[in-house]
Structure 1
Amino acid sequence: MPAAAWIIVLSAAASVSLSLGARQTFGLFLLPLGIEHGIAATVLGASVAIHNLIWGISQPFAGALADRLGTGRVALGGAGIYAVGLLMPAIYPCAATLIIGIGILTGLGTAAAGAGTVLGAVARAVPESRRGDALGLASAGGSVGQAAMVPFAQWGIETGGTSFAFAMLAATMLLALVICPRLEWRAPIRVGNAMPVGIAGLPDLARRALADRDFALLTLGFFACGFQLAFLTVHLPAHLALCGFPTGLGVTALMLIGLFNIPGSWLCGRLGNVVRPELALGGIYLLRTILVGIFAITVPTEWGTMIFAAAMGFIWLGTIPLTSTAIARRFGVADLGSLYGVCFLSHQVGGFLGAGAGAIVVDMTGSYAAFWPVMLAVGVVAIVSNWATRAPRLAPV
């Protein structure tokens, strides 16, 4: 790849690292917010659920803006919104600031600065033969952020409390001032023979895409991805604490997920170059569901938890480059941000339900035992829906 393309890939990875890395720490605040400020677990659970829903609803619009105006501009604005959302509970921690700041503002910020927006720039910057590799590398940025920010946030909580930790996370968003201008600052007027539709053409584009049977199945499968990952991100540390393990094990588990997904995302991206992406996605959902099933039925141990986290981490965000590649093969890359956003909305509806329902279950029953069968059921839906897709008749560049 030319040097200019590498700059865009690495900048995209850094933007994903900031936006996804910060949100992966939210589960660490679940119990400390209750101890420090008397905020119930359902408040943060509801905030993260709203965050997922707002992220999903705004993702098609953020992607459409980036496709038409330039990814770097949209991502920089998103980082600013994200910082404000983190500062609100840092300055005045209460239910309202968590709902507005974490729930709404960081949801908007993640949509604008995260993978759904910046991967469109990556796909347009690299040749079709290297697209899977490049998307995998950029997606791995989210794992670098998780591996770095989880211990960073935990240190902040232990050192200065939740407000101090939220303020530290907000400060990291200043790095966007260096990163975002090196992305696709001005979007191309045309990509091949296609012209991005922008927000005005988004409703018609979404209708045409969802009328495609295989895109609809791909979108259904992405629902399960969001459901499973949001539940684990928010509730795994609390689940381990309820099982009697020290807080550090939850931090270690989230950090291992991030570390192992760095090579995992890249390899999943490469896999999309040689295997039809939908088939690979079905395989990932199968492995993920098997791992969840084993973890649910066995007595938790420290080593078992770390092995589970490492194995899950290897396929954690591998769905992102594969889903992007699948969409690009069917529809091209001119509107990839918009189309990924349409598909991603389903992912975030799943995330909304996974995070929110998990909080309700633990508040009502005191454990997560009743939730594991639901995790397995949605995994089966994802496997079947992806393996039921057909190969695209055309493969647009």
Structure 2
Amino acid sequence: MTTQPSKWHGAGVALICGSLILLISLGVRHAFGLFLQPVSMDQGWGRETFAFAIALQNLVWGASQPFTGMVADRYGAKLVVAIGAVLYGLGLWMMSIVAGELMFILGAGVMIGLGLSGTTFPVIFGAISRLVAPEQRSLAMGITMSVGSFGQFAMLPLSLSLIVGLNWQGALIAMSVLALAMLPLAFGIRSEAAPVANAQEDVSFGQALRDAFGERDFWLLSLGFFACGFQVVFIAVHLPAFLADEGLGNGVATMVLALIGLVNIAGTYYAGLWGGQHRKPMLLSWIYIGRALAIASFVLLPVSAPTAYVFGAMMGLFWLSTVPLTNGTVAAVFGVKHLSMLGGIVFFAHQLGSFAGGWLGGWLYDRTGNYDMAWGVAIALSLFAAVLNWPITERSLAERRLAA
């Protein structure tokens, strides 16, 4: 009698190392909002300077993601993650030396943006998806994303403690050292043991692009992801300042962002689990509706510490739950051979939204003196994304061609 190999055989080390990389990479990024006020006040800058640096970071991250994904698909994720870790650490150090606005923007915007493109989910998901059975991919992504969400929870109180104890410059130096810890973890992400793509999925780079760009659902998924990017970055960067304007201290903002990360551990896990059992685009629509309700309730009620905490918990359910479902949909339709690259293109739309959310929040605040218009845009985009995702199907290319 023979024993059937485990569906997770050979993927354990990559899953652990990839999860820890996301924990560090996303955790450090999630804490940037805590630096907006101290950096801007200490340097005498308006909020738009810091907001632009973070917006540029997200734009560079998104624009470079398809290319880093293409390199990872072809040569393996190990090299891409290692280079990304070094760039991430260097960018944090450049932020700390404060050699003027240009140097700060170069470090926070360009270097960290490139570092993130090599150390976040498009590359990690592409590597892990080629190591697990198709029916387990959504769950694997959900588990990995859950660990990344824990990083968002854990890094916030740690970052606040570093800012209080070392000032914001010392905190950034300490975080640059932490970012370099991703370098040895990169060597735990090996290439797939054997090709898993079937004949329909085994296409060239150029054909994969033509297939994706020719599918309506690929564009709908990308446009919906734009809304996710806008909301995540706007809230992460501007929520601490928004709460401070309402008379609430940094401790409340830290707790709210930590709650988002903590609750999102469950949110991303169950999104990945349910994504293997139900239609992923339908789940995405409900997530965006949930976000719209959470944001609208928060801004319409009087702002207080309790309402802020409830908002953090509600947003945590939906925060990064879109990620395993979006990438899982791409894998279901186009296969995994070019998943890092195709997922990177969809993610570029997300990062265009991130750029808009980070920069527009600061721009509107500097001109109106409040965040009311930015919150309204976040709600409208959420409803728009819910409508876009509902008609998307998960049929593979082969099934679509047979039905045509």
Q: Same fold (TM over 0.5)?
A: yes
For residue 172 of structure 2, give the secondary structure of its aligned residue in structure 1: helix
Contact 1:69 1:186 in 2 (8 A): no
Report what 2:135 is aligned to.
129
Instruction: Give CA deviations for 1:273-306 in whole Å, capped at 9, x if unaligned.
Output: 1111111000100101111111111111111111
Contact 1:190 1:196 in 2 (8 A): no
- What is the CA–CA distance in structure 2 between the aligned matches of 1:226 and 1:307, rounded to whole Å? 22
Instruction: Give CA deviations for 1:293-343 in whole Å, capped at 9, x if unaligned.
Output: 111111111111111101111221111100111011101111110110111
For residue 320 of structure 2, give the secondary structure of its aligned residue in structure 1: coil
Report what 2:298 is aligned to.
295
- Say whether residues 1:344 and 2:347 are aligned partners: yes
For residue 276 of structure 2, give the secondary structure of its aligned residue in structure 1: helix
When residues 196 and 172 of structure 1 are mapped into structure 2, their CA distance, relative to the original with a 3 A threshold, is farther
Report what 1:65 is aligned to.
71
Residue 195 of structure 1: CA displacement?
4.7
Contact 1:277 1:323 in 2 (8 A): yes
Contact 1:147 1:257 in 2 (8 A): yes
- Say whether residues 1:160 and 2:163 are aligned partners: no
One-letter code of the match for 1:26? Answer: F
- Say whether residues 1:364 and 2:370 are aligned partners: no
- Say whether residues 1:13 and 2:19 are aligned partners: yes
Aligned length: 392
Report what 1:388 is aligned to.
391
Instruction: Give CA deviations for 1:342-380 in whole Å, capped at 9, x if unaligned.
Output: 111110000100110000111122211222211111111
For residue 392 of structure 2, give the secondary structure of its aligned residue in structure 1: coil
- What is the CA–CA distance in structure 1 between the aligned matches of 2:219 and 2:104, rounded to whole Å? 33
- What is the CA–CA distance in structure 2 between the aligned matches of 1:28 and 1:135, rounded to whole Å? 28
Specify which of 281, 284, 297 is matched with residue 281 of structure 1: 284
When residues 93 and 233 of structure 1 are mapped into structure 2, their CA distance, relative to the original with a 3 A threshold, is farther
One-letter code of the match for 2:96? Answer: A
Contact 1:71 1:187 in 2 (8 A): no
Instruction: Give the alignment of 1:107-118 within 5 angstroms.
Output: 107-118=113-124
Q: State the superposition RMSD in angstroms.
A: 1.8
Specify which of 206, 215, 218 is matched with residue 209 of structure 2: 206
Residue 80 of structure 1: CA displacement?
0.4
- Say whether residues 1:319 and 2:322 are aligned partners: yes
After the TM superposition, which of the residue ranges 300-309 and 87-96 deviates more from structure 2? Answer: 87-96
- Say whether residues 1:81 and 2:87 are aligned partners: yes
Residue 38 of structure 1: CA displacement?
1.7
Instruction: Give CA deviations for 1:10-44 in whole Å, capped at 9, x if unaligned.
Output: 21111111111111111111110122222321111
When residues 235 and 79 of structure 1 are mapped into structure 2, their CA distance, relative to the original with a 3 A threshold, is same
Report what 2:376 is aligned to.
373
Instruction: Give CA deviations for 1:114-158 in whole Å, capped at 9, x if unaligned.
Output: 111110111111111211111101112221211111111111111
TM-score (norm 2): 0.93
- Say whether residues 1:305 and 2:308 are aligned partners: yes
- What is the CA–CA distance in structure 1 between the aligned matches of 2:185 and 2:115, rounded to whole Å? 15
One-letter code of the match for 1:350? Answer: G
- Say whether residues 1:29 and 2:35 are aligned partners: yes
Specify which of 227, 230, 233 is matched with residue 230 of structure 1: 233
- Say whether residues 1:105 and 2:104 are aligned partners: no
Gaps of 5+ in 1: none
One-letter code of the match for 1:339? Answer: L
- What is the CA–CA distance in structure 1 between the aligned matches of 2:290 and 2:313, rounded to whole Å? 13
- What is the CA–CA distance in structure 1 between the aligned matches of 2:272 and 2:196, rounded to whole Å? 26
After the TM superposition, which of the residue ranges 341-350 and 29-38 deviates more from structure 2? Answer: 29-38
Percent pairwise identity: 35
TM-score (norm 1): 0.95
- What is the CA–CA distance in structure 1 between the aligned matches of 2:120 and 2:69, rounded to whole Å? 10
Contact 1:48 1:356 in 2 (8 A): yes
Contact 2:55 2:358 in 1 (8 A): yes
One-letter code of the match for 1:208? Answer: D
- What is the CA–CA distance in structure 2 between the aligned matches of 1:250 and 1:109, rounded to whole Å? 26
- What is the CA–CA distance in structure 2 between the aligned matches of 1:383 and 1:350, rounded to whole Å? 15
One-letter code of the match for 1:138? Answer: T
Residue 79 of structure 1: CA displacement?
0.6
- What is the CA–CA distance in structure 1 between the aligned matches of 2:36 and 2:99, rounded to whole Å? 13
